[in-house]
């Protein structure tokens, strides 16, 4: 049966890569993934999956970001012109773009497979020797580009879904594909979890594409994700007193000098002896005109630590700096904290299961499990992992390892597509291993 799964993916490999290129060419950013979602839903339905999408699967309350009605309508009209899967497009025109595909194979465990839908809000390069341009699949949507690798994840998961549909009579349990919107906005998990999609999941998987420098030599897939950092953000609003900088400088309460003091000291926060730290000033703005001292200034910072305790150390230090900087210059400072993400930690039992299954049954693919690696990034998938663990389930995030060109999240990022069918095989084989049983008897 493992051979049958691998043969299915091999047979469809060129089509799987074509899906990647289609998603890449029609990149869509957070809350606007209409064409992408409707095509995913259409393909899943054609393979026998029960498909749900739109507000029935998305909690649209308490969103930190939402596209405007004008953006939604404009993008819907564009998707309508580009998309052959119009049967599903209407259900996602309001920005509720998540898709759930369920393959119900009777009693047994529930395996969840997570995948992101959205692209990055950047304009892709038009340089003639850039491969997506040269081969005709560069994004045709200005300000939207798949330069984070989500197009690879999408194609691999669809390849996996198709292969599993062909062996459904040999599965005992349920396969649930969870296509998440707004990953780059960090709010996709918050849209899905309240709807209960993780409540019955026993095993949860995800994947992301990385360059070879973030894997280990020879590996095509890492079955566990590196341990990420615990993150957070703060927005500090400084308020002072405006005045003429020359006629009455003694009356000024200058927010810019207070912000400068804060910036200098934020970059001087001591490192932590028990793990990695990161502090960055992301945005500073004060004043709207020349010739006057502004009354208000805004600063945004991000910070991250290897553990939650280290993150709290950074938070406390930053809050003291903002308060002291404001007091030093006679201004006020109000700080709004945005909760970030805790570290991603893969369950060893599940990661090792994927490694052993793949290396035994998927020829030509090397899967490695290597614990205690660190990646200085983050992802809201961690909340989905935590939800599954609440009822005793297991979860692992994985890495597709590929030769890449360019820098992620910039206008030029491309990779060796051969990793996509490899990933589809590994995931399909692992799901089969978790749900395998003798062939079901046909009802006479």
pTM of the model: 0.86
Annotate 251-308 with three-state secondary structure.
HCECHHHHHHHHHHHHCCCCCECCECEEEEEEEEEECCCCCCCCCEEEEEEEEEECCH
Are 145 and 139 contacting, i.e. CB atoms less than 8 angstroms apart? yes
Q: Tell me whether strands 203-211 and 230-239 are parallel, antiparallel or unpaired.
A: unpaired
Look at residue 112 in the predicted model and tell me its pLDDT.
Answer: 99
Non-local CB neighbours of 15 within 8 Å, separated by 6+ positions? none
Residues above pLDDT 70, as percent of the chain: 96
Q: Give the pair of three-digit tokens for residue 55.
A: 């507000």
Distance from chain centroid for Cα 238: 33
Q: Within a domain: residue 441?
A: no
Q: Is 141 annotated as a binding residue?
A: no
> Number of helices and strands (H, E) in the chain?
13, 14
In this predicted model, what pLDDT tens digit does every residue of 179-213 receive, in sequence order? 999 999 989 999 999 999 999 999 999 999 999 98
Q: Is residue 443 part of a domain?
A: no
Strand partners, 207: 398
Residues 121 and 175 in one domain: yes
Residue 422 sits in a domain of what CATH number?
A: 3.40.630.10
Q: How far apart are CA 28 and CA 34, in angstroms?
A: 8
201: CB partners within 8 A, 6+ apart = 110, 111, 112, 176, 388, 393
Q: Clarify whether residues 239 and 195 are in a common domain.
A: no
The last residue of one of the domains, among 313, 339, 365, is 339
Helix or strand holding residue 77 (H, E): helix 69-82
Question: Which DSSP state fits 365?
Answer: -
Same domain, 107 and 91: yes
- CATH number for the domain harbouring residue 271: 3.30.70.360
In the chain, how many domains are there? Answer: 2
**Residue numbers of the domain that contains 362:** 2-228+342-435
Residue 184 known to bind ligand: yes
Of 65, 67, 117, 63, the C-alpha closest to 93 is 67
Nearest-10 Cα torsion for 280, 144, 177, 197: 60
361 annotated binding-site participant: no
State yes or no: 150 annotated in a binding site. Answer: yes
C-alpha 140/C-alpha 238 separation (Å) is: 41
Which tokens in the block code for residue 416? Answer: 């060796």
What are the Cα distances from residue 344, in Å, to 150, 222, 226, 230, 338?
A: 18, 14, 8, 8, 18
Mean pLDDT by 10 residues, the chain (444 residues): 97 98 98 97 98 96 91 96 85 97 97 98 97 98 97 99 98 98 93 97 97 91 89 94 75 92 97 93 87 89 92 97 97 90 91 98 97 79 96 97 95 98 99 78 41
- Per the annotation, does 409 bind a ligand? yes
Would you say residue 440 lies in a domain? no
- 216: which 2 tokens? 């280990």
Rounded to whole angstroms, how far apart are CA atoms 179 and 133? Answer: 27
CB 428 within 8 A of CB 2: no
Q: Are residues 26 and 175 in the same domain?
A: yes
Q: What is the C-alpha to C-alpha distance for residues 82 and 178, in angstroms, rounded to an integer?
A: 24
- Say whether both 350 and 294 belong to one domain: no
Q: Which two tokens stand for residue 285?
A: 């703005």
């Amino acid at each position: 049966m493992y051979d049958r799964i691998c043969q299915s993916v091999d047979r469809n490999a060129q089509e799987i890569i074509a899906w990647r290129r289609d998603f890449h060419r029609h990149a869509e950013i957070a809350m606007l993934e209409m064409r992408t979602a409707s095509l995913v839903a259409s393909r899943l339905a054609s393979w026998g999956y029960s498909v749900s999408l739109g507000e029935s699967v998305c909690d649209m309350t308490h969103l930190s970001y939402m596209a405007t009605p004008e953006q939604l309508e404009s993008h819907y009209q564009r998707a309508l012109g580009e998309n052959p899967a119009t049967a599903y497009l209407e259900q996602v025109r309001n920005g509720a773009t998540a898709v759930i595909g369920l393959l119900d194979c009777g009693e047994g465990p529930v395996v969840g497979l997570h995948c992101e839908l959205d692209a990055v809000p950047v304009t892709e390069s038009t340089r003639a020797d850039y491969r997506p341009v040269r081969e005709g699949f560069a994004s045709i949507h200005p300000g939207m580009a798949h330069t984070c690798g989500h197009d690879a994840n999408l194609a691999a998961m669809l390849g996996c879904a198709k292969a599993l549909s062909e062996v459904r009579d040999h599965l005992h349990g349920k396969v649930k594909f969870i296509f998440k919107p707004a990953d780059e906005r960090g709010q996709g998990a918050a849209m899905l979890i309240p709807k209960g999609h993780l409540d019955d999941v026993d095993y949860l998987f995800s994947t992301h594409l990385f360059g070879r420098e973030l894997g280990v030599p020879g590996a095509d897939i890492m079955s566990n994700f590196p341990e990420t950092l615990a993150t957070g953000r703060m927005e500090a609003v400084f308020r002072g007193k405006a005045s003429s900088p020359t006629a009455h400088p003694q009356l000024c309460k200058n927010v810019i000098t207070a912000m400068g003091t804060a910036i200098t000291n934020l970059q001087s926060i001591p490192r932590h002896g028990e793990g990695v730290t990161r502090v960055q000033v992301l945005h500073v703005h004060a004043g709207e005109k020349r010739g006057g001292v502004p009354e208000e200034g805004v600063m945004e910072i991000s910070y991250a630590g290897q553990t939650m305790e280290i993150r709290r150390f950074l938070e406390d230090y930053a809050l003291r700096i903002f308060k002291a900087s404001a007091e030093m210059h006679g201004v006020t400072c109000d700080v709004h904290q945005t909760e970030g993400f805790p570290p991603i930690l893969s369950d060893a039992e599940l990661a090792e299961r994927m490694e052993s299954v793949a290396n035994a049954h998927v020829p030509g693919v090397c899967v490695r499990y290597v614990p205690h690696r660190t990646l200085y990034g983050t992802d809201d998938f961690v909340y989905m992992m935590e939800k599954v663990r609440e009822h005793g389930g297991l979860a692992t995030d994985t890495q597709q390892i590929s030769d890449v060109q360019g820098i992620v999240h910039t206008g030029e990022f491309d990779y060796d597509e051969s990793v996509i069918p490899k990933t589809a095989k590994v995931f399909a084989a692992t799901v089969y291993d978790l749900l395998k049983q003798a062939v079901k008897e046909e009802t006479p």
